[in-house]
Amino acid sequence: MDAFKLLIRSTNIQKTGPVSRKGPAAPTPSAGAPARTQNPLDNDDFLHMRETSECKGTKRKRCGQTRTEVDGVSGELDFFGDRARLSVLSEHTKKAKRDVPKSEQARIQKSEGFEEEVPEFDEVECRQILKRHKVKITILGQTCQVQQHHNNDSTRTGPQKRGGKKDMHTQIWPQPLTSFQQLRSRYGISRRLAANLDAQGYAEPTEVQLGSLPLLLGSDDDRGWRRKGARKSKSKKHPRPEVDLITIAPTGSGKTLGFMIHVLQGLLKERQATKKSVPEGMTKHQVQALIIAPTHELADQIVNEGKKMAAGTGIKILGLKKNMRLHPELAIVSEQVSGGTRDRSAHTNETLVNSDILVSTPLLLLHAISAKEFTPAPLPAIRFLVLDEADVLLDHLFREQTLAIWRACSNTSLRTSLWSATIGSSIESLAHSFILDRRRDLGLHLSPQLPPHHVIRLVVGLKDSAIPNISHRLIYAASEQGKLLALRQLLHPSTAPTTGAPSLQPPFLIFTQTISRAIALHSELLYDIPVEAGGSSRIAVLHSDLSDTARSKIMAGFRNGEIWILITTDLLSRGMDFRGMNGVLNYDIPNTGASYVHRVGRTGRQGREGGVAVTLYTKEDVPYVKNVANVISASERAKANQGREGEGGGEGVQKWLLEALPDVSKKTKKALKSRGVESRSVTVEHEGGREARRMRISTKSGYDRRLENKKKGAVGGSGRRRKQRDSDKADEDKAGSEWSGIDD
Ligand SMILES: Nc1ncnc2c1ncn2[C@@H]1O[C@H](COP(=O)(O)OP(=O)(O)OP(=O)(O)O)[C@@H](O)[C@H]1O
């Protein structure tokens, strides 16, 4: 199925200005820009690193010469090359704008299309555009008893039977957002928000933004909600349905901007509508939107993105920190506050920090809103709840915490949106039922005054699959020793026989199954990067056992190009947006197909070509590796449908291998998901045993290790003996010098 074909193809949408229905084809942002390595090392430098690693004696001079280049370049490392350029451009534009009178500015804006009334697409056009972009929008209906065998209504996408029951799902074709200008002209977003978006330099909405923003922002009538066959009523306007959205769109497709615009506009609209003067005793900012993400790193990234979009709007966005508490009235109470507005609560001595949007991990937030452990106080002011990486937030690890927060959001007009590149049917059902049950508990389903409510699923491309614009490689390395060897060959391809394998160029991420394995691999590779190229400072390990400060420092180092290779666990597999990332190496196979999709999705973002995803596997992994092979194969098929098979180093997984690999049973999948490959989870220190020793990450042979241990033992023993001798001598001296009276 050519699922992502249109993600990298041109569209019929004009790049700027008012949308023409018959406009020329233009590529969308996620349509795969030509390979562009923002990577500072830009290949030459990495080649230098390889050269220097091969440099011995005679080549010293050349190495020395290049060294200064490397040092020089390292100062210019800029993963966000485009962004820097854009910010310069936007500064330039801002300055130019300041010099133009306001009336003229308005005229220019209008001529640029910002204020232009954009004609609506008719139903056929909506369908064509959404289809071309592979955007499928479905109203999730309630489960009903099956009454007939054939369903002649073509708008029903089902029935999807579940034990004699079927889900009454209905596909719809609402107005797509074909240019950002329409956000203002059609959906009336704030001028400031539109300007902030403009300053980001995004030319056009990505597919997920094209589909989700009209649903979330919506106009006040039923435009775009016509279903196939429904009669158009020109005179009668219906209230726009309230929407809770479940969005499944590829990694790096711009979901963050989708929910951020929705939340910011929602808050700005409310602020404008009520034009509230702040009542006495109340704070100026009140948390009305919660964005939940599974890791601190992702939460920080969302805050950064949010701040850019919220600049100058008066809306505050804050990342929750450990030392903060959320008051039941939704003022954040903190003893040590860094930044933000400060107030003194009238009733307590606690310091209050005010914010409109709060970004947090589930546990941190639950802690902040719970007076006693896990009994969260109600959060009636919350009107927007965003679950980023919703599938992981609703999976067993975070489920209780996430649902507890969701339950605490007691506002009757709460709008919830769930976002991820992978949301399986069980998680979707769970979310759907939770939304319906919550409405039932609040009595909302009986209220005739309320507008209709829909739970909508939006899928972009082929659901739950890896992006096809990167090259996937599945490499058999037989054993742990083999994996280390393979990794070194990828790092220094000139030392390896030509295998046709894609080379892995920094910056890249290496994923391991456990923290201890990440640490072990880090110490093993520490000296693989030559001193001339920066040595051990170029490689780092990041995991959840490190302090928050250490984690932030490493993240900053990786983002600004000081660190080239980052070894980590699944901690960084979701949501992290590192621009210019050249590759991902799964040193240990991921536990699930979804985990593979997210890990490899750290490269090839925004449809960029040239990313490489390498997965090493050993004979221990053979029973499980089909999980990964299936995802790669689906991605390769998508590529083949685009006529791009063989690009980027040949087939990711050969057909014979796919057929030869054993299927993974449901039971095994479940065990793998919770524990990973069992033999890799045991450690020599704690559980000992041959198995653990075999899975250890080290190039040293058993013989060498024994020799080393003996040597260590001998050195230790000699040290102990020396100490003993010294202490005996000291005792003797002491005894000799003590006065023992006059001998008779
Ligand atoms: N309309 C756009 N045009 C160009 N770039 C965009 C657009 N929208 C977002 N981006 C950029 O695309 C990159 C990826 O966006 P984002 O992190 O939101 O992806 P995502 O869909 O959330 O991915 P993941 O599933 O991995 O979390 C970001 O660097 C963002 O700035």
C-alpha–C-alpha distance, residues 254 and 208, integer Å: 7
Span from the CA of 18 to the centroid of ligand 1 (angstroms)? 24
* 8 Cα–ligand 1 center, Å: 15
Q: What is the mean pLDDT of residues 145-167?
A: 47
Atom of ligand 1 nearest to the CA of 256: 18
Lowest mean pLDDT, pick from 321-335, 608-622, 728-742: 321-335
Task: State mean pLDDT over 89-116.
Answer: 50
Rounded mean pLDDT of 539-550?
95
Q: How far apart (Å, rounded) are the C-alpha atoms in residues 29 and 305?
A: 17
Can you tell me the distance from the alpha carbon of 628 to that of 632, in angstroms, rounded to the nearest whole number? Answer: 6
**Predicted local distance difference test score (pLDDT) of residue 84:** 40
Distance, CA 250 to ligand 1 centroid (Å)? 10
Best residue among 253, 578, 599 to mutate for probing ligand 1's pocket (most ligand atoms within 8 Å of CB) is 253
Evaluate whether 37 touches 670 at the Cβ level (below 8 Å): no
Q: Which atom of ligand 1 is nearest to the CA of 251?
A: 25
Residue among 206, 308, 509 whose CB has most ligand 1 atoms within 8 A, to mutate: 206
Beta carbons within 8 Å of 70's beta carbon, 6+ residues apart: 45, 48, 49, 532, 533, 534
Tokens representing residue 91 in the block = 């500064």
Rounded to 10 deg, the angle between the 207-217 and 255-274 helix axes is 20
Q: Which H, E and C letters describe 96-110, residue by residue?
A: HHHCCCHHHHHHHHH
Best of 177, 460, 577 for a ligand 1 pocket test (most atoms within 8 Å of beta carbon): 577
User: pLDDT band at 347, cuts 50/70/90?
Assistant: very low
pLDDT digits (tens, 9 = 90+) for 193-224: 999 999 999 989 999 999 999 999 986 444 44
For 307, the token pair is: 């701040």
- Exposed/middle/buried for 210, CB within 10 Å: 0-12, 13-18, 19+? buried
Residue recorded with tokens 């976002």: 419
Q: Best mutation site among 255, 263, 465 for ligand 1, i.e. most ligand atoms within 8 A of its Cβ? A: 255
Test site for ligand 1: of 257, 263, 423, 597, most ligand atoms within 8 A of the Cβ: 257
* Ligand 1 center–CA 255 separation, angstroms: 6
- Residue 317 CA to ligand 1 center (angstroms) comes to 19
Section 645-655 average pLDDT: 64
254 C-alpha to ligand 1 centroid (Å): 3
Sequence spans of domains, the chain: 65-115, 471-694
- Give residue 89's pLDDT band: very low, low, confident or very high (50, 70, 90): very low
Looking only at the bridges linking them, the beta strands covering 332-334 and 351-353 are: antiparallel
Amino acid at 318: L
Lowest mean pLDDT among 169-173, 627-631, 635-639: 635-639
Region of poorest pLDDT, from 321-335, 692-706, 721-735: 321-335
The more confident residue out of 723 and 307 is 307
Quick one: 285 exposed, middle or buried, by C-beta within 10 A (0-12, 13-18, 19+)?
buried
Closest residue CA from atom 12 of ligand 1: 254
Q: Pick left, alpha or beta for residue 607 (phi over 0 → left; psi -120 to 50 → alpha; otherwise beta).
A: left
pLDDT at position 694, please? 61
Q: How many angstroms is it from 580 CA to the middle of ligand 1?
A: 13
Cβ neighbors of 147 (< 8 A, separation 6 or more) are: none
Cα-to-centroid distance, 306 and ligand 1 (Å): 13
Residue whose CA is at the smallest distance from ligand 1 atom 29? 577
Q: Which residues line ligand 1 (CB under 6 A)?
A: 29, 202, 205-206, 209, 249, 251-257, 421, 575, 577, 601, 605-606
Query: Which of 497, 501, 520 has the alpha carbon at shortest distance from 510?
Result: 520
| Per-residue model confidence (pLDDT) at position 484 | 92
Query: Is the pLDDT assigned to residue 432 strictly greater than 90?
Result: yes
Identify the band that residue 588 occupies on the pLDDT scale cut at 50, 70 and 90.
Answer: very high
DSSP 209-277: HHHHHHHHH--SS-TT-PPTTPPP-SS---PPPEEEEEEE--TTS-HHHHHHHHHHHHHHHHHHHH-PP
Band of pLDDT at residue 532, cut at 50, 70 and 90: confident
Residues in the chain: 744
What is the mean pLDDT of the segment spanning 630-636?
Answer: 90
Whether the per-residue pLDDT at 338 is higher than 50: the answer is no
Q: Which of 86-100, 162-176, 209-223, 537-551 has the lowest mean pLDDT?
A: 86-100
Model confidence at 5, in pLDDT bands (50, 70, 90)?
A: very low
Q: How confident is the model at residue 15 (pLDDT cuts 50, 70, 90)?
A: very low
Give the list of residues 6+ apart from residue 683 with CB closer than 8 angstroms, or none: 516, 692
User: Which residue's C-alpha comes closest to atom 22 of ligand 1?
Assistant: 255
Q: How far is it, in rounded angstroms, from Cα 134 to Cα 117? A: 26
What does 376-420 look like in DSSP terms, one character per residue?
EPP-TT--EEEEETHHHHTSTTTHHHHHHHHHH---TT-EEEEEE
10 Å Cβ neighbour count for 714? 10
pLDDT at position 647 is 58
Residue whose CA is closest, atom 2 of ligand 1? 202
User: CB within 8 A of 289, min separation 6: which ones?
Assistant: 263, 266, 267, 356, 357, 358, 382, 383, 384, 385, 386
Which pLDDT score is estimated for 35? 37
pLDDT score, position 724: 87
Ranges 38-52, 230-244, 381-395: which has the least confidence: 38-52
The pLDDT tens digits for 487-498 are 988 887 666 555
pLDDT tier at 138, thresholds 50, 70, 90: very high
- Which residue has the CA at smallest separation from atom 27 of ligand 1? 575
Residue 93 is predicted with a pLDDT of 46
Distance 558 CA to ligand 1 centre (A): 19
Nearest to 420 by CA among 402, 440, 436, 441: 402
Q: Which residue has the tokens 């280049």?
A: 69
The residue whose CA has the least distance to atom 11 of ligand 1 is 254
Q: Please, where are the H alpha helices in 43-119?
A: 44-54, 60-74, 81-98, 102-112
**Edge-to-edge strand order for the sheet containing 165-167?**
143-145, 165-167, 160-162
Q: Residue 257's CB: how many other CB atoms inside 10 A?
A: 23
Distance in Å, CA 638 to ligand 1 centroid:
21
Q: How far apart are CA 637 and CA 650, in angstroms?
A: 13
Mutate-to-test residue for ligand 1 from 86, 181, 605, highest number of ligand atoms within 8 A of CB: 605
Residue at 197: amino acid letter: L
Minimum mean pLDDT range among 51-60, 111-120, 423-432, 586-595 = 51-60
Closest CA to 353 of 313, 325, 378: 325
- pLDDT at position 154: 39
In this prediction, residue 295 carries a pLDDT of 96
CATH number of 471-694: 3.40.50.300
Q: With 90 as the cut, is the pLDDT of residue 225 above it?
A: no
Point out the least confidently predicted range of 140-144, 297-301, 522-526: 140-144
pLDDT value of position 203: 87
Which has more pLDDT, 374 or 406? 406
> Ligand 1: which residue has its CA nearest to atom 25?
251
Whether the per-residue pLDDT at 176 is higher than 50: the answer is yes
Tell me the average pLDDT of the chain. Answer: 75
Cα–Cα dist 411/287, whole Å? 13
Q: How far apart are CA 266 and CA 671, in angstroms?
A: 42
Q: Which of 113, 317, 118, 298 is nearest to 214 (CA)?
A: 118
Ramachandran assignment for 188, one of left (phi > 0), alpha (psi -120 to 50 degrees), beta (any other): left
- What number is the average pLDDT over the span 647-655? 65
What is the rounded average pLDDT of the residues 381-386?
A: 95
pTM, two decimal places: 0.76
420 Cα nearest atom in ligand 1: 25
Say what the pLDDT of residue 44 is: 47
Q: What is the pLDDT of residue 464?
A: 81
Which DSSP string do the residues of 446-501 spell out, in sequence order? G-TTSPPEEEEEEEESSTT---TTEEEEEEEEESHHHHHHHHHHHHSGGGS----P
Check if the beta carbon of residue 557 is closer than 8 Å to that of residue 582: no
